[in-house]
Amino acid sequence: MSETFDAYVITRDEETKQQSGGWTQVSTDDLPEGDVTIRVRHTTMNYKDALAITGKSPVVRRFPMVPGIDIAGEVVASDSPDYAVGDEVIMNGWGVGEVHWGGYATYARMKSDWLLKKPAGLSGAECMAIGTGGYTAALCVQRLLDAGLTPESGTVLVTGASGGVGSFAISLLSSMGFTVAASTGRAEEEPYLRGLGASEIVDRNTLSGKGRPLDKELYAGAVDSVGSTTLANVLSQVKYDGTVAACGLAQGFDLPATVMPFILRGVTLAGVDSVMAPKARREAAYALLDKHLDRAKLAEITQEADIRNVDQLAADLIDGKVRGRLVFAVS
């Protein structure tokens, strides 16, 4: 039986190529293909969601589209043996909000392979406060752990420290006993970063310009969300047998580096993808978050917001006026 519900829908005029969005009523019959239907309880706003809503970047690749790349809710219908009605689930990635309707709606329909059971130690709202940024950070930290890094290995550098991935990486690593150096271009964020657990602040300008092919060995490992020259300089400063988990390209997608860190110091560059990561890797990331994430710090950087105001909030996020994580209760 079909049911109508509220959804934020982005449409595009095919003649002018101009997009617009707003709240409207849609039917469960309109939901995309999938074997699990979810009553959305919480979602959040990531930078990609803000780009989709404002149209500042061609994030949306299929119209009409419901944004919201992170979802927490409960199963209301399932054709999958893995999920039953009433199960609490979470979802990140998989092109949701780009080519598949997302979480800015009362209901969402997903492929069961995309879902995870909500970790018992985290609420749905906390999972959304973590969002794709925190989940990606956990994937990065897990790569460092898999490479054998321990707190005794030495300092771990986090670039893009004030961003979502960087903030969560600092919090996770510090709670696990690692000494963390945070690279940022915003000096005013030092109290915030030290509050998350950073013991050293590195001016990003020292990493963003052309550097040496092989520099002083400073860091046992790193989490990098910046890419380009910054990543090249980070690689040149990693100690023998160290590992860098790379997940972003805020500075650029190029890598003007040499092979010297790899062949003279045995440095490993480990790529991290959050969108299509296998379920086992996703589960391990959330288990890490469940075990080590400081809930008090998470609460400090989280604010609840009204989902009806996503247009203004998206503009504010793009303009750098939003700090921390926005969580929406979908009622």
Number of CB atoms found within 10 A of residue 311's CB:
14
Does residue 97 lie in a domain region?
Answer: yes
**pLDDT exceeds 90 at position 213:** yes
Statement to judge: residues 56 and 157 lie in one domain: no
**pLDDT exceeds 80 at position 42:** yes
Domain count across the chain = 2
> Token digits for 278?
């296998």
Q: What is the mean pLDDT of residues 64-77?
A: 97
Confidence of residue 286 (pLDDT cuts 50, 70, 90): very high
Distance CA 260, CA 159 (A): 21
Q: What pLDDT does residue 144 have?
A: 98
Statement to judge: residues 102 and 140 lie in one domain: no
Q: What is the mean pLDDT of residues 103-127?
A: 97
**pLDDT exceeds 90 at position 104:** yes
Distance CA 78, CA 25 (A): 23
Q: What is the mean pLDDT of residues 46-63?
A: 92
Q: What is the pTM of this model?
A: 0.92
**pLDDT exceeds 80 at position 320:** no
> Token digits for 111?
């492929």
Q: What pLDDT does residue 1 have?
A: 63
Distance CA 33, CA 62 (A): 14
Closest CA to 37 of 118, 132, 130, 105: 105
**Structural domain of 324:** 4-118+301-329
Statement to judge: residues 101 and 186 lie in one domain: no
Q: Encode pLDDT of 241-261 as tens digits.
A: 999 999 999 899 999 999 999
Give the CATH number for residue 31.
3.90.180.10
Q: What is the mean pLDDT of the chain?
A: 95
Question: Would you tell me the crossing angle of helices 124-146 and 164-175 to the nearest 10 degrees?
Answer: 70
Does residue 126 lie in a domain region?
Answer: no
**How large a percentage of the chain has pLDDT more than 70?**
100
Confidence of residue 321 (pLDDT cuts 50, 70, 90): confident
Distance CA 102, CA 90 (A): 12
Statement to judge: residues 147 and 170 lie in one domain: yes
**pLDDT exceeds 90 at position 324:** no
DSSP state of 180: E
Does residue 39 lie in a domain region?
Answer: yes
Statement to judge: residues 29 and 148 lie in one domain: no
> Picking from 117-121, 151-155, 218-222, 320-324, which range would have the lowest pLDDT averaged per residue?
320-324
Statement to judge: residues 254 and 146 lie in one domain: yes
φ, ψ for residue 208 (rounded to 5)?
-85, -10
**How large a percentage of the chain has pLDDT more than 90?**
89
Distance CA 186, CA 189 (A): 6
Does residue 296 lie in a domain region?
Answer: no
> Token digits for 314?
């998206």
SS3 call for 5: strand
Which of 255, 271, 287 is the C-terminal boundary of a domain?
271
SS3 call for 4: strand
DSSP state of 311: H
Token pair 């095919």 is at which residue? 14
Statement to judge: residues 211 and 318 lie in one domain: no
Q: What is the mean pLDDT of residues 208-212?
A: 93
